[in-house]
Structures are given as structure tokens and as C-alpha cells.
């Protein structure tokens, strides 16, 4: 089914392999992740992550063959959403959030599709949503979490710059704020004072904004321990270039602290 572009939501195609099964959904934004996303889905299947949340791929236009539908369905994917519009991660997430809210999910998890994160920990996020939390941030830096082979420059940036600024902006301490492995309640995302479905969120702005808006508005937030494991060999799996990408992230961080993304 094709959904035409509307304010705050890009044009996209929905290929639903199954009906809604669970109260929660895991949105996995990808573009040309190849074997990484397939390995992640294999881990999800082995750990029975789909027993706790429907798995939905938010594809940005992959052309590497990794989005073959029969294989995705065999690996437990409930639905494949394909963005057919401009924008990067932020647009993919807005597509997924709109679709998930329309489908009636009570909570939305997000996780990168590059096989670095512990998708086996989906039950931890589902449990916190059931307890009434509205923002659940995954952290490799709290007790029970694991940071494996994290590049030292990233470690310094997250612990020394990003997390302190996000924490100050949010008025609550968070330790792993660049981590896209987190969960949101539907009531938080539907709040007009939050308004996540806006075209201003094209790249990584939405993750930064949603990290701070919950506690600014009095919603309950917490962290849960997760693992983030970087590969032993090869380059770091990321879509963020060292100079331009990190420069954009820092600019987003400052705009977020200044309240530029508030409705």
C-alpha cells in the first residue's frame, strides 16, 4: 500500500506480512545494511524478540538485496516500510512512528539495524513501558550494560560532551544519549507539546529532541542496560562521517539545548 506524502510524514510504501500481533513495535531504520541487518534479525529470532513486540523495518531505499521480502518474513519481520521521499534517519523514523500510531501500538521501540545493539534486550524495554515509563533509554554505561570495542573518540564524545548536554537540557541524567536503542510510549508521542511528526526532523534531530522533551514535560524516563558491540575487524558500521557528520550532530545538540525544536 502506498501512503502519499503529508505534513510531517514522507511518502512511503507499506508491505505488511502479518497483522498487528503485539502492543509494542520495534522500528528498525536501515539503508543498505546488507548482512548486518540479516544477522541482527537472526539474533532477534533466536531470542524470540517478536514475542514481546512486532518487528518492523523502516527502509530508506536499500538496493543491496537485504530487503528481500520472503527472507525478511522468515526472519520474523512483521512489516516492511519503504520510504519514497527525501530525508534520512529522521524521515524514516517519522514514517514508522506515524504508521505505528495509526496501527494502534501502545509503545514504540527503535534500534539501529547494523547489528551492534543487543536486540535480545527488547523484553527490558517492554517491561518498562508496562510499568508506565514514557521514555526508556538503552545504556551501555550503567550496571549490567556492556560497551565493547567502542572507538575512543566516540567514547569521549558521548561521555564528555553529548550526554552532559542532553542531561542538562532534559533536567535528568542520562548516560548514553547517542544510542538510538530506546522506547517511547504512544501517549508521549501523541502529545501536541511534543509533535514529533514535523519535517524539521530530517536526519538525527528527532533522536536528540525526543531524548529531552519527555522529562521537560513531566513524563517518566529511565535507562535500561544494553550492550553495544563494535566489530573486531573492518570499519565502524555507521552512516555518520567523521567531520561533516559529527559537525552536524554537534549543531543539532546546540539547537536542541536552545529549544529550537519545540513546537
* CATH at residue 194: 3.90.550.10
At residue 245, does pLDDT exceed 90? Answer: no
pLDDT in tens, 32-61: 999 999 999 999 999 999 999 999 999 999
Whether residue 78 lies inside any domain: the answer is yes
CB count, 10 Å around CB of 86?
11
Q: How many CA atoms lie within 13 A of 151 on its CB side?
A: 12
Residue 72: per-residue pLDDT: 98
Residue 236: per-residue pLDDT: 52
Whether residue 263 lies inside any domain: the answer is no
Confidence band of 85 (pLDDT split at 50, 70, 90): very high
Confidence band of 197 (pLDDT split at 50, 70, 90): very high
Tell me the Ramachandran region of residue 200: left when phi exceeds 0, alpha when psi lies from -120 to 50, beta otherwise: alpha
At residue 235, does pLDDT exceed 70? Answer: no
pLDDT in tens, 108-134: 999 999 999 999 999 999 999 999 999
What string of DSSP letters covers 23-66? SEEEEEEESS-THHHHHHHHHHHHHTGGGTSEEEEEES---SST
At residue 234, does pLDDT exceed 80? Answer: no
At residue 28, does pLDDT exceed 60? Answer: yes
Average pLDDT over residues 130-142: 98
- Tell me the C-alpha distance between 17 and 26, whole Å: 15
Whether residue 262 lies inside any domain: the answer is no
Cell of 98: 506515524
Q: Which residues contact 82 (CB under 8 A, 6 or more apart)?
A: 12, 13, 14, 15, 59, 61, 67
Can you list the alpha helix ranges (DSSP code H) found in 75-204? 89-103, 122-130, 152-157, 163-170, 186-190
Residue 154: per-residue pLDDT: 86
At residue 228, does pLDDT exceed 70? Answer: yes
Whether residue 220 lies inside any domain: the answer is yes
Average pLDDT over residues 231-236: 69
pTM equals: 0.93
> Measured between alpha carbons, how far apart are the two ends of the chain, in Å?
30
Using alpha carbons, list the distances in angstroms from residue 75 to 109, 143, 179, 231: 18, 31, 24, 22
SS3 222: strand
- Burial class of residue 47 in the structure, from the number of CB atoms within 10 Å of its CB (0-12 exposed, 13-18 middle, 19+ buried): middle
Of the given ranges (59-68, 154-163, 245-254), which has the lowest mean pLDDT? 245-254
pLDDT > 90 fraction of the chain, expressed in percent and rounded: 90
β-partners of residue 94 are none
Whether residue 113 lies inside any domain: the answer is yes
Owning domain of residue 232? 2-257
The count of structural domains within the chain is 1
Whether residue 139 lies inside any domain: the answer is yes
Confidence band of 189 (pLDDT split at 50, 70, 90): very high
pLDDT in tens, 159-174: 999 999 999 999 999 9
β-partners of residue 12 are 3, 83
Q: What is the mean pLDDT of the chain?
A: 94
Using alpha carbons, list the distances in angstroms from residue 131 to 23, 190, 220: 14, 19, 10
Amino acid at each position: 500500500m502506498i501512503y502519499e506524502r503529508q505534513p510531517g510524514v514522507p511518502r512511503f510504501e507499506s508491505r505488511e506480512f502479518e497483522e498487528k500481533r503485539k502492543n509494542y513495535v520495534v522500528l528498525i531504520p536501515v539503508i543498505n545494511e546488507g548482512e548486518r541487518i540479516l544477522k541482527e534479525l537472526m539474533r532477534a529470532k533466536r531470542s524470540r524478540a517478536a514475542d514481546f513486540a512486532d518487528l518492523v523495518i523502516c527502509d530508506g531505499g536499500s538496493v543491496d538485496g537485504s530487503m528481500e521480502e520472503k527472507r525478511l518474513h522468515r526472519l520474523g519481520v512483521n512489516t516492511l516500510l519503504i520510504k519514497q521521499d527525501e530525508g534520512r534517519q529522521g524521515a524514516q523514523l517519522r514514517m514508522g512512528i506515524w504508521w505505528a500510531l495509526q496501527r494502534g501500538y501502545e509503545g514504540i521501540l527503535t534500534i539501529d539495524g547494523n547489528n551492534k545493539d543487543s536486540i535480545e534486550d527488547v523484553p527490558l524495554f517492554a517491561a518498562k513501558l508496562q510499568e508506565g515509563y514514557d521514555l526508556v533509554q538503552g545504556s551501555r554505561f550503567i550496571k549490567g550494560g556492556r560497551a565493547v570495542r567502542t572507538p575512543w573518540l566516540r567514547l569521549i564524545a558521548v561521555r564528555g560532551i553529548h550526554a552532559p548536554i542532553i542531561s542538562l537540557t532534559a533536567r535528568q541524567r542520562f548516560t548514553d544519549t547517542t544510542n538510538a536503542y530506546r522506547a517511547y510510549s504512544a501517549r508521549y508521542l501523541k502529545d501536541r507539546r511534543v509533535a514529533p511528526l514535523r519535517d524539521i526532523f530530517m536526519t538525527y534531530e528527532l533522536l536528540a529532541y525526543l531524548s529531552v522533551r519527555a522529562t521537560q514535560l513531566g513524563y517518566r524516563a529511565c535507562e535500561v542496560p544494553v550492550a553495544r558491540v563494535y566489530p573486531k575487524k573492518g570499519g565502524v558500521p555507521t552512516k555518520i562521517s567523521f567531520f561533516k557528520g559529527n559537525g552536524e550532530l554537534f549543531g543539532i545538540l546546540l539547537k536542541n539545548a536552545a529549544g529550537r525544536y519545540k513546537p
